[in-house]
Structure 1
């Protein structure tokens, strides 16, 4: 037991220290201006881990890192430390670094299968939050292989399958999980959601199939109507086969003429309109009228095959003429129509002719589902100039 003299000496020393502490500033204290920054360097009080670990700037944290990654410790201890490190990154929502820590823990190949399962399920969670559903599913499957009844692995696997729209597989994950955990609400909710999505997807698939079948039927009917009318479709030229001894070419053989393909009828992407067959069995075509003298044009999205050209010309050039016709020449009775074949020969069309009759001409080929006609003013100087040097035939 200390003597009264020693006790007095101790008290005197403490009194002296306290007196000195009151009069002198503590040299190792945090500064008033940067105390929060300094405080955040202490591992216990860090809100976030630094992006780059500088041992001089973060000596305490560097010491802890050295302990975590000490290769001399048993693999189980190292793996557990790396799991804890990954969990810390996960809480900060730094999922990339969490994945690196969990992966490093798995590389230790420790014999603790429970720990390995946790590392896999935690890494699956990090991948899930990054949107890496396939990687998350692989980790969940690996965890389930180690422990088939591991609840978190089963839940995560089901969630990944739902995100990947593999609803049948999601249901299988849930069913496996509910065998081991029959009362788990999360698995029950996931199974109900997967079943709902599956039924919706199957319903959508049936609707799409019905729609596709309907469209196919409409296309077949359209092609049959074109074929029955002997209308020729102009398609891209096919390369000539080698070894062909024939020098003679049939009429129109420079183009691939087909009555059994929709390629020559596809114009919707270009014009927004496409040939169609109405309920009465009549074809309606998208038609362009070009006025080369004025570099103008008109577009009719649905020109009935049974209508005559004059019917449309009378509407377009009736009482109110277009503003570009300053000479007031484009009267229906003054107009002439022409179409051009693939050899640039012009064929004059009588305005009183129906569209179908023009289409059935042996030199008329439908290009990309669009019909085109030139409109000129008869006896005009531009008409004479435009037709100079061109081959012209009447329909």
Structure 2
């Protein structure tokens, strides 16, 4: 959602960003109302060392008698490793990245303690407001992770069970402030989550906002945008519609609603096509099953079917016409030589000889044993025996009647040299009895 160019709800519209004087000195409006504190104790002056000087390392660096003497600032940098400098900087709140390692050898950091104490000064509403303002600053700079964290802290202060803050003098003003900060923190955290693509969290934040203020338009917009990103189109459409009922001219909501309607129409087209495809597949399966039963052809499936890509039993040319012809994938098994040929489409009206005519002679048959008149064909029976399949009989005549079955949609035909049929039959009987 990197295109969302929207400042938090409570961005200070009074800042005259285009004012001539503001352009000349953009800090002047802030300086007028902010007391600049003196430098903290130990802060580096013009020639003071910002980091402790490593004396041993400094001696190594100053061994060269021709090298100029380093200033305190330069010595503090040169005598420390990058890791040392990073550790020192981490103890300074401005550069702090790891609060767990920000203390000294006793785990203490006076500057950090002072800042945290300042952050917790005031009433519950004032402390939450402080976090909210820090979140707003981070949001203006598009530091969305930081913004989310500050808004979360503001919400945590408002929802904490234990009240450890100052008691307000004006209860009504405090309650008003807390309610305002809570709504703003939730809606602005929703923006941060939207930018971070935490879409579900966005919808939850927006739901919290709408409990506080059912007319918050930004909650409807950000919720609908997040729901659209989650492809929850009906919910996105509903959120956008509810928002437009409050503000019919809202362009952002209009855009989300338009996109949601387009996506909904596309999904409906996809669903309609899938339903039509499923219905077509169902009818094809029903018609195929009816055709097999009418021809008394037995079929069976196992747990380990052969890989045949898109080949299978089908009605051709029209799978939805009962007048179509059945076609089967088939394999010629040259059992005595451990070879085979796959036939993707074997019509029930064709015979074995029709296919052997273009397959024979076999390129690997150096003994010339496989000829049209020199082979016999066999098929497995349902009981585990064999039948002799006439080469000139239509496949339909061989398969009908229930003596053989088509296993895993594949017709298996053994092609055996006539001189070796006795050996083949003996091997198959031994396999059956073994």
Deviation at 1:351, TM superposition (A): 1.0
When the two structures are superposed, what TM-score results if normalisation uses the length of structure 2?
A: 0.66
- 1:158 pairs with one of 211, 224, 235: 224
**Whole-angstrom distance in 1 between the partners of 2:157 and 2:213:** 19
Q: Given the two structures, how large is their TM-score scaled by the length of structure 1?
A: 0.72
Counterpart-to-counterpart distance in 2, 1:386 and 1:101: 83
Size of the aligned set, in residue pairs, is 330
Which of 204, 223, 244 aligns to 2:289? It is: 223
Alignment gaps of 5+ in structure 1: 1-23, 238-265
Report if the CA contact (8 A) 2:370-2:417 is conserved: yes
> For the residues of structure 1 that align with 2:306 and 2:202, how far apart are their CA atoms?
43
**1:154–1:378 Cα change, 3 Å:** same
The yes-or-no answer on 1:78 pairing with 2:103 is no
Asked whether the equivalents of residues 267 and 274 of structure 1 are also in contact (C-alpha less than 8 Å), the reply is: no
Matches within 5 A, 1:1-395: 26-29=47-50, 31-32=73-74, 33=77, 43=93, 46=95, 50-56=97-103, 60-61=111-112, 63-68=114-119, 70=120, 73-84=122-133, 86=135, 93=143, 95=145, 99=148, 101-109=150-158, 111=175, 112-235=178-301, 270-278=308-316, 279=318, 281-318=324-361, 321-322=362-363, 324-380=364-420, 383-388=421-426, 390-391=428-429
Distance in 2 of aligned mates of 1:87 and 1:289: 77
Query: Which residue of structure 1 aligns with residue 172 of structure 2?
Result: none
1-structure distance, mates of 2:307, 2:157 = 59
1:60 is displaced (CA, Å) by: 4.1
Deviation of residue 103 (structure 1)?
Answer: 3.5
Cα pair 1:55 1:62 within 8 Å, conserved: no
SS at match of 1:108: helix
- Matches of 2:92 and 2:392, distance apart in 1: 95
Residue aligning to 2:63: none
CA RMSD of aligned residues (A): 3.3
Report the CA distance shift for 1:127/1:298 in structure 2 as closer, same or farther (over 3 A): farther
In 2, Cα distance between the equivalents of 1:94 and 1:282? 66
